[in-house]
């Protein structure tokens, strides 16, 4: 079994995330791709994302009907600071023998040795870089192994979407229609 894990804030989930998911499923031949929203990023200790229940709702709306993708709320249920090693240990335990692929942004590849229990991380999963349009080629420090998606680079970030909402600008086509409706209905990011 080939199992992909896509961690992040998903604050909010957007079309770029969905294009990455499609590319990962196709290019890696994944049987399943799990979106794992963080409770609190160790790299953004002062950043507070939208409420957990809302981020989970937005992810479920965005992934409705996607047969290879699902939402895993384990980091939110654990609470506190989310560490990738805890999530990868869980997947290795629940899916013994599965080939694990962990998706990361290209800007994180060079810093993998700074992540908690880095050597164990390198042993548990292959890391897959999500390219940014015009971004540099990612290089993995030893002992990490990985590759880059060719995929569908999409130059929009969650922070840009939050800023557009705050400015009263449309987010059509940047997020799925159901996600845009839920953001507006909940009064998020205003």
CATH assignment of 2-154?
A: 3.40.50.620
Averaged pLDDT, 141-163: 87
pTM score of the predicted model: 0.90
Averaged pLDDT, 159-181: 92
Averaged pLDDT, 76-95: 97
Question: Looking at the DSSP assignment, which residues form a beta bridge with residue 34?
Answer: 5, 70
pLDDT in tens, 100-128: 999 998 888 989 999 999 999 999 999 99
**What is the rounded distance in angstroms from the CA atom of residue 66 to the CA atom of residue 45?**
32
Name the helix (H) or strand (E) containing 100.
strand 99-105
Question: Is 106 within 8 Å of 131 (Cβ atoms)?
Answer: yes
- The whole-chain average pLDDT of the chain stands at 92
For tokens 């196709």, name the residue: 26
Domain boundaries, the chain: 2-154
Averaged pLDDT, 70-90: 97
Question: Is 3 within 8 Å of 34 (Cβ atoms)?
Answer: yes
Give the CA radius of gyration of the chain.
Answer: 16
Write down the pLDDT at residue 152: 72
Write down the pLDDT at residue 150: 87
pLDDT in tens, 32-56: 999 999 999 998 878 888 999 999 9
User: Quick count: other Cβ atoms within 10 Å of Cβ 151?
Assistant: 19
For 91, list phi and psi in degrees, rounded to 5. -65, -40
């Amino acid at each position: 079994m080939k199992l992909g894990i896509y961690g992040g804030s998903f604050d909010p989930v957007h079309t770029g995330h969905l294009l990455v998911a499609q590319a990962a499923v196709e290019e890696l031949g994944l049987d399943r791709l799990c979106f794992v929203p963080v409770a609190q990023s160790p790299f953004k200790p002062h950043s507070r994302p939208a409420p957990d229940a809302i981020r989970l709702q937005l992810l479920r709306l965005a992934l409705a009907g996607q047969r290879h993708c699902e939402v895993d709320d384990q980091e939110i249920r654990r609470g506190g600071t989310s560490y990738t090693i805890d999530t990868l240990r869980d997947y290795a335990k629940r899916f013994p023998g599965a080939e694990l692929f962990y998706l990361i942004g290209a800007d994180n590849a060079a810093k993998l040795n700074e992540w908690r229990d880095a050597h164990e991380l390198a042993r548990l999963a292959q890391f897959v870089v999500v390219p940014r349009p015009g971004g540099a080629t990612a290089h993995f420090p030893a002992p990490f192994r990985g590759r880059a998606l060719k995929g569908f680079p999409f130059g929009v970030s969650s922070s840009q979407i939050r800023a557009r909402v705050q400015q009263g600008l449309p987010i059509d086509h940047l997020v799925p229609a159901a996600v845009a409706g839920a953001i507006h209905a909940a009064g998020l990011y205003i």
